[in-house]
Amino acid sequence: MIQKIISRLKELHSLFPDFEKGADIQIEKKFPRVESDVFLLLAKHKQNTLHLYVKIVKEETFSAGTLQKRLSSEYACLQSTYEYFKNSPMHRAVRPIAFFPEWHTIVTAESPGLVLKPVIMSYTRILSLRDIKRLQKAVFLCGRWLRDFHHCVKAETEFELEGITLYVSRRLEILEDLGLIRKDLGKILRKNLEEIEKGYIRFIPSVLLHNDFIPGNILIDGEKICVLDFSWAGRGCHYFDITAFWLELQRLGEMPHHSRSKVSLLQKSFLEGYGEVRQESVEFRCFELLQRVNALNYLWIERQKRGYPRRLSRDFEIKNQLRWLHQFKAQI
């Protein structure tokens, strides 16, 4: 299939400004993943070179009948995001190249930069002597990007985030069946979350969501950042994306080999970049609950896959999340 895709790419006139037929396109790497196969291609034409990412999504990844809709939504979001951010002085944007629905394939141009997650992990270690002021600026830009994405990027999608009570309840059932949390705790969380959703959250306007806005999907390139992976783009409450990023930082700060004070500075910079978000608000706390329940599901799955010593690390994190759930219950 990849050779058919390459043949089609050679016919495109959008690869380079002065493109004519006859570009040389070669496969450099292949990255097999659970949800998709990703190929890195090198395209050459005259004096120009361009790296392309080809993502071929596996059909079994999505429930029946949703794959094409998901891909169409992702590509529309890529196009709209690129058009809005392409001239931004603070951000870079992934350039969409082609969409081949018959092959479940999206092609984008490579974006320069380093993945933000390992950079944050390196700078926030207890023994790190690195000055995090520059990193704070990058995290501030993440907040600013997310705010602009939520309020300014317009893209069509028919995917809507479930109500927060239903979303959390589905995941609590899994944790209850595993014996990680007691059913009485799950019942209290559901009851109070339902009351809060009726009184507060259902009145918050729906926005375009990235739905996987975490440091692992962000590149930092000098003074700019670039956001990747719009596979799960949809609509819902903006607190979902905000708390997803915030909790990724929080989980680092809860580990013994990372500095809680440094992580707090980064969290503060992120929320300042977004603006008008209070960590103490009822809405924020409820979506933090959602993200922590998500994290518990993920951590348990990862724990079952890993051997010693990674399993010990997962057990430590799982205890942290369970401790927070009990504290949350005591405060509501």
The pair of structure tokens assigned to 293 is: 């329940």
* Mean of pLDDT values over 3-19: 77
Helix axes 310-331, 183-199, angle to 10 degrees: 60
* Mean of pLDDT values over 233-237: 97
Backbone angles phi, psi at 246, to 5 degrees: -60, -40
The partner residues of 258 in beta bridges, in order of sequence, read 125
* Mean of pLDDT values over 46-70: 86
How does pLDDT run across 81-102, given as a tens digit for each residue? 999 999 999 999 999 999 999 9
Asked whether residue 5 carries a pLDDT value surpassing 90, the answer given is yes
* Mean of pLDDT values over 25-31: 94
Pick the range with the lowest mean pLDDT from 17-31, 161-175, 195-209: 17-31
* Mean of pLDDT values over 238-259: 97
pLDDT of residue 18: 60
Q: What is the mean pLDDT of the chain?
A: 93
Structural domains of the chain sorted by starting position, each given as residue range(s) with its CATH number in brackets? 2-109 (3.30.200), 114-331 (3.90.1200.10)
pLDDT of residue 331: 83
**What is the dihedral sign for C-alpha 127, 133, 138, 140?**
positive
- In this prediction, residue 294 has a pLDDT band, given cuts at 50, 70 and 90, of very high
d(CA 227, CA 232): 13
Whole-number percent of the chain with pLDDT over 90: 81
Asked whether residue 22 carries a pLDDT value surpassing 80, the answer given is no
Asked whether residue 332 carries a pLDDT value surpassing 90, the answer given is no
The partner residues of 324 in beta bridges, in order of sequence, read none
Backbone angles phi, psi at 284, to 5 degrees: -60, -45
* Mean of pLDDT values over 234-263: 97
